[in-house]
A and B are shown apart, each in its own frame.
Chain A
Amino acid sequence: MSERVKAVVGNRLFWPVLALVLLLVSNLFFSRDFFSLEVRDGHLYGSIIDILRNGAPLILVATGMTVVIATGGIDLSVGAIVAIVGGLACYHISTQPDQNSLSGVITAVLMGIGLALVLGLWNGILVAGIGIQPIIATLILMVAGRGLAQMITDDQIITIRSPNYKFIGAGHLFTVPFAILVALLVVLLAVLLTRRTALGMLLESVGGNAEASRLAGIRARRITIMVYVFCGLCAGIAGLMISADVSSADGTRAGLWIELDAILAVVIGGTSLLGGRFSIAGTVLGALIIQTLTTTILTIGVPSDATLLFKALVVTIVCLLQSPQFRAKFIRRRRPPVPPPATPAETPKVEVPA
């Protein structure tokens, strides 16, 4: 094997990319014109575009989740934030005399984003300020948030008629769906902020050891609060997108299980749940893999709920491949084996007081 092939195969993104390509190509068996793109009425259409457009909310949420996981945290409340923000925006628009008025829509969007930031800040303060285990701290909002969303929508589905609001989820700008552009913008912003500035390294150092980072002069607390705010923001935008796409808000079902899909996307993308090194590009690939899987299953004609089985399979395989014990037992390697499992490093994480 030449050095170049080794370098390509050894790249962290090699396996996610391979999986995505295989999935996409396998779609050719079911629909011949899977890769065809066409422009109708100045709008771009095609299966690939559909995958990107439907995957945009997941890409957003997963990007936010990646930075949270990079600091060794987790955010379970994103699904609830999606439901609350969508509910609030739709509720505000539904109370307007003219549901399509631009000012009303802009106010609704700003209110939604503002609320998302506040909810993210709440999570951040619980985790970094008070020092509660992230999984538990965000569990509070996950439970209460669903109730809040149901209260905003009054246990019903709010339906609105507002083409201006619908634009966020289903509109086109420069022939490309607007949702894709928004997701792209946020992802680019996140990549620039974390890779072109020192922020990414600070995130990784906080994820590696928050206390050591603090002693080294990094404001670990502030960074931790910031990532939860960013994650809340991403979830909020996704919430606007999801509710705009269907022109309605459903407090019970909107964003249901999106936190799990987002975590799955992060894991597929090669970011360790223990924190430290992270890859936003990997996460985007992971989100696309999940979305392609969903679309493929729909194309084949299997009930969409069966996607869960495939997800279970994927998450099991990915986790096994990442587990040092599994690799040591079942995968022969030419290189010397990796050092024994990082149990000592893991133990303090478990013992963070709650």
Chain B
Amino acid sequence: MSTVEVAASRFASLRERLPAKQLPVLVTLALFGLMYGVGILRYEGFYDTQIFLNLFIDNGFLLVVAIGMTFVILTGGIDLSVGSVVALSTMVSSSLLTEKGWSPYLVMVLVLAIGSVLGFLMGCMIHYFDIQPFIVTLAGMFLARGLCFIISTDSISITDKTWVAIADYKLPLGNYHLSWSAIVSLVVLAVAVWVLSYTKFGRNVYAIGGSEQSALLMGLPVARTKIAVYTISGFCSALGGIVMTFYTLSGHGRGAIGLELDAIAAVVIGGTLLTGGAGYVLGTVVGVCVLGIIQTIINFEGDLSSSWTRIVIGILLFVFIMLQRVVRLGQRT
């Protein structure tokens, strides 16, 4: 055996030992650790555990939306409507609460129903009429955004007592605290992890993302699953909208513009393949945390323009897409 062959076989065994499937998530996790470490070394007060908890408090809505997006992307689809559905949810809840004086619980149920129905309809169009997810959810995006402006072109603030109380609530954790938005997002996360890892539905989602044709031939319920993931995404967007109103206490038709891009970026940075079939919700959480920590670092830096957030997200997207490609090429050879 020549030295070259020995080296090649060693390299191959090394690659086998590296978990190729989890590699992107691990890289993201390492990146997050690195950024967090740099933050602690560079800025006073960054080590405070509350800073870490704030990642979930400030980005609760993004996490909820990104989890819904993960389901869709795992099937190989995409949902561009999430930002608009979030804005619509904030508008519906604020206008019903402030102008109509509805009961807050009724408003929550209605908002969640609206989001789910929108998602359900988009899923039906995508599946039954075989139109690309991109264009269907684009129409959904226009529809939801237009509805926002039909409700009102101004922002509406929320003064409902129950709602404000929920928004102000702080769950004490020793010396630290979590808000309802963080709690909701963590509960959604737990449910999503369970559904994707331990249920038949979760297996079906991965199977469709791997190959829709094969899933169909295996007799898996493709129609039901595909429509369900868009419904889940709609539901998560509506929930994200409610969580957002806890944070801002207002509804704004121009709010959450570009949120769909942040959500997609979080999912990709979290290691989910945009072609579907591979990825983890936990990766998405790390992705959201990376986006959050970029924002935190820029806040701590003080004089850095916020436009850097977008540029850094773009660069990370590029790096992770290239990484995914390298991993895929490695698997094939």
Question: Do A and B associate with each other?
Answer: yes
A positions within 8 Å CB-CB of B:
74, 130-133, 135-137, 139-151, 154-155, 251, 256, 260, 263-264, 267, 273-274, 303, 305-313, 315-316, 319-320, 322-326, 341, 343, 347, 350-354
Assess A144 versus B275: contact at CB under 8 Å? Given A267-B135, A305-B153, A350-B76: no
Are B142's CB and A353's CB within 8 A?
no
Contact B132 A354, beta carbon cutoff 8 Å: no
Query: Chain B: interface secondary structure?
Result: helix
Q: Is the CB of B132 within 8 A of A273?
A: yes
A354 near B274: Cβ-Cβ < 8 Å: yes
Indicate whether A147 sits within 8 Å of B309 (C-beta atoms), given known contacts A312-B146, A343-B130.
Answer: yes
Most chain B beta-carbon contacts within 10 A, residue among A143, A267, A313, A341: A143
Assess the A353–B145 pair: CB atoms within 8 A: no
B residues near A144, Cβ cutoff 8 Å: 310-311, 313-315, 317-318
Partner of A147, one of B310, B321, B328: B310
Interface size class of B (residues with CB under 8 A): 35 or more
Is B213 a contact of A347 with CB atoms below 8 Å? Answer: yes
Whether the Cβ atoms of B311 and A320 lie closer than 8 Å is no
Docked Cα-Cα span, A147 to B174, in Å, equals 39
Question: Does B169 interact with chain A (Cβ within 8 Å)?
Answer: no
Residue of A nearest to B138 (CB): A260
Cα distance A159–B61 when bound, in Å? 35
Q: Assuming the A-B contacts A146-B258, A306-B150, are A319 and B139 also in contact, with contact meaning beta carbons closer than 8 angstroms in the complex? A: yes
A274 and B307 alpha carbons, distance in the complex (Å): 34
Contact code string B81-119 (vs A, CB < 8 Å = 1, else 0): 000000000000000000000000000000000000000
Q: Report if A140-B131 is in contact (Cβ < 8 Å); known contacts: A353-B325, A354-B273.
A: no
Given contacts A303-B153, A326-B129, A354-B275, contact A309 B146 (CB under 8 A): yes
In the assembled complex, how far is the CB of residue B216 from the closest CB belonging to chain A, in whole angstroms? 9
Residue B178 lies at the interface, judged by CB distance under 8 Å to chain A:
no
Q: How far is the CB of A84 from chain B (nearest CB, A)?
A: 11
Q: State the CA gap A267–B128 with chains docked (Å).
A: 19
Indicate if the CB atoms of A354 and B321 lie closer than 8 Å.
yes
> For the complex, what is the distance from the CA of A135 to the CA of B317, rounded to whole Å?
13
Chain B residues lying within 8 Å of A136, measured Cβ to Cβ, are 268, 274, 321
